[in-house]
Structure 1
Amino acid sequence: MFKIMLVEDDVTLFNEIRERLSQWSYEVYGISDFSKVLQEFTAVKPELVIIDIQLPLYDGFHWCRMIRAHSNVPIIFLSSRDHPSDMVMSMQLGADDFMQKPFHFEVLIAKIQATLRRVYNYSSERTELKTWRGATIEYVKNTVTNSLGAALLTKNEMFILKILVERKDQIVDREELIKNLWDNEHFVSDNTLTVNVNRLRKKLEPLELDTFIETRVGQGYMATEEAAL
C-alpha cells in the first residue's frame, strides 16, 4: 500500500480525494498544522505528495522547495488558478505532474498510478550503473558523476536522461518522451517537457555535459557522444 500525503486545506475536497484514493488501496495522510508541512512529511515518509498551490501561511511552491531540499519523492501539484505560469513554476521546482481544478477523479487516479509506476517500478528494476561521456549515471541514486563533480536529478530528469542515453545518437520524439513520462500526452503541455529538459541541462552544465543533450527542432532530443558545433 502506497502512502500519499495530501496537502490540501479545503476539507471537503480533501475528504473526497481521500475517500476516492482509499478505494484504490492508497493510504492518505493529511496535514494537521500548515506551518509544519515539512515536519509532517518527514514523519510520514510518503511515497507521493499531492499539494495545492494556495495554502494557509505559505503556498505550495514554498513547501515544494522545502521538500525538494530533502527528498526526491514524486510531487503532483493541484491548482484552482488558470495561470500557465503555475505549471511552469511547478516543473521548475521539480514537480512530477500538475492538475488543474476542477478535475475528473479518474484523471487524477491515472496520473497517480502513472507516477508511482514510473518512479518505483523504474527504481526497483534499473539498479545498474550507466556510463556516458565519461560520467557515471546511477539510476537508483538519481545522480550523474564525473571528474568535475556530481549532479542530483529529480525522477523525471533522470528518466529523460535514461531514455536519451540508452538511445544515444538517435533522435527521440517529443511525443514519445511525453508519453513515456506522463502516460497520456493529452493532459500534458508541450512546454512541460521543455521545462524539464532545460532543468536537466542546467544541472548537467557544471559537469560540462549540457551541450551533449541536443534539441532537434520540430523533432525531439538526442544525447550525443560529441558536442554540437
Structure 2
Amino acid sequence: MYRIFIIEDDDKIGMILKSTMEKYGFEAARAVNFKDLLGEFTAHEPHLVLLDINLPYFDGFYWCRQIRTRSNVPILFISAREGEMDQVMAIENGGDDYLPKPIHLDLLLAKVKGALRRAYGEYAAATASSVSGGELDLYSLRLNLSRNELEWGGLRTELTKNERLLAEAFMKRPDEIVTREHLLEALWDDVQFVDDNTLTVNVTRLRKKLEEIGIMKAIETVRGQGYRLNGEALREARV
C-alpha cells in the first residue's frame, strides 16, 4: 500500500485530502508538527508528498528543498496561489507537479496515480529494464537510473526524478530532435493538464546540472519543435 504524506495546515482541506486518499486505497497521514516537517517525513517514509505552499514557520518551497536532501520521492504542490511564478518556483525547488486550489479531486487522483506509476510501478520497471545494468553511457557521460545520478569526468550530480527522465530521453536519441510532446509524455500521464512552461523549467534545470559537471550548451532548443542533445558538445567536452 502506497503511503501519502499530506502537508496542509487547513484542517478542512487536510481532512478532505486524507479521506480521498484513503477512499482509493492509499495509506494517508497528515502533518502535525510544522516546525519539524522533515522529521515527520522521515518517520512516515511516504511514497508521495502533497505539499501546500503557505505554511506556518516556513513555506512549502523551503520544506521541498529539505525533503530533497533526503529523498527523490514525488512531491505534488497544492496551493491557492495561481501565479505562473509560483508554479515555476515549485518546480525549481524540487517539486514534480503543481495543482491550484480549489482542488479538483479527480484530477488530483489522476496525478497521484500517475506519479506513483512513474516512480514505482510499471513505468518505472519498464524504464529500469530497458538498459543493461541500469546505466546509460554516451560519450563517457553516464546516467545511473537507480541512483538518479549523472557522472562525467569524475564529477557527479544528483538529479530529480523528472531530470533523470529527461536525461534518459535525450541520451537515448543523441543529435535527434526530441519533440516537446514526447518529453511531456515521458514526464506526465495527463499532458493536457500540464503547463508547457513546466517542461521548459525542467529542461533548464537539467542544463544547469550538466553545467555543474562541466558540459556546456549540451541541450539545444529547436524552435517550434523541441530539444536536441548535442553530441558534438559532449565529444568536445570529453577532449
- TM-score calculated relative to the size of structure 2: 0.91
Confirm or deny: 8 A CA contact 1:132 1:165 kept in the other structure: yes
- CA distance in 2 between counterparts of 1:81 and 1:4 reads 22
The one-character-per-residue Cα deviations of 1:170-204 (angstroms, maximum 9, x if unpaired) are 11111221122111222111111111000001011
- Equivalent of 1:189 in 183, 187, 195: 195
1:27 maps to: 27
Confirm or deny: 8 A CA contact 1:144 1:152 kept in the other structure: yes
* 1:132 counterpart letter in structure 2: L
- CA distance in 1 between counterparts of 2:230 and 2:196 reads 23
- CA distance in 2 between counterparts of 1:53 and 1:103 reads 14
* 2:220 counterpart letter in structure 1: E
Identity %: 41
* 1:161 counterpart letter in structure 2: A
- TM-score calculated relative to the size of structure 1: 0.95
Structure 2: segments with no counterpart, 5+ residues: none
- CA distance in 1 between counterparts of 2:198 and 2:26 reads 27
- CA distance in 2 between counterparts of 1:84 and 1:98 reads 11
The one-character-per-residue Cα deviations of 1:45-69 (angstroms, maximum 9, x if unpaired) are 1011110001111111111111112
Q: Bigger shift: 205-214 or 21-30? A: 205-214
Confirm or deny: 8 A CA contact 1:168 1:224 kept in the other structure: yes
SS at match of 1:192: helix
- Equivalent of 1:218 in 224, 228, 232: 224
- CA distance in 2 between counterparts of 1:57 and 1:94 reads 19
SS at match of 1:177: helix
Confirm or deny: 8 A CA contact 1:6 1:30 kept in the other structure: yes
- CA distance in 2 between counterparts of 1:23 and 1:83 reads 31
The one-character-per-residue Cα deviations of 1:6-62 (angstroms, maximum 9, x if unpaired) are 001111111111111112111111111111100000111101111000111111111
The one-character-per-residue Cα deviations of 1:142-188 (angstroms, maximum 9, x if unpaired) are 00112140010000000011111112221111122112211122211
- Equivalent of 2:176 in 164, 170, 173: 170
How far off its partner does 1:72 sit? 1.2
How far off its partner does 1:123 sit? 4.1
- CA distance in 2 between counterparts of 1:180 and 1:128 reads 18
Q: Equivalent residues in 2 for 1:1-229 (5 A)?
A: 1-121=1-121, 122-125=123-126, 126=128, 128-227=134-233
* 2:99 counterpart letter in structure 1: M
Confirm or deny: 8 A CA contact 2:117 2:124 kept in the other structure: no
- CA distance in 2 between counterparts of 1:210 and 1:69 reads 25
* 1:151 counterpart letter in structure 2: T
SS at match of 1:90: helix
SS at match of 1:197: helix
* 2:224 counterpart letter in structure 1: G
* 1:5 counterpart letter in structure 2: F
SS at match of 1:227: helix
SS at match of 1:119: helix
Equivalent pairs counted in the alignment come to: 229
Q: Bigger shift: 176-185 or 136-145? A: 176-185
- CA distance in 1 between counterparts of 2:125 and 2:155 reads 26
Confirm or deny: 8 A CA contact 2:148 2:161 kept in the other structure: yes
* 2:136 counterpart letter in structure 1: K
- CA distance in 1 between counterparts of 2:38 and 2:125 reads 26
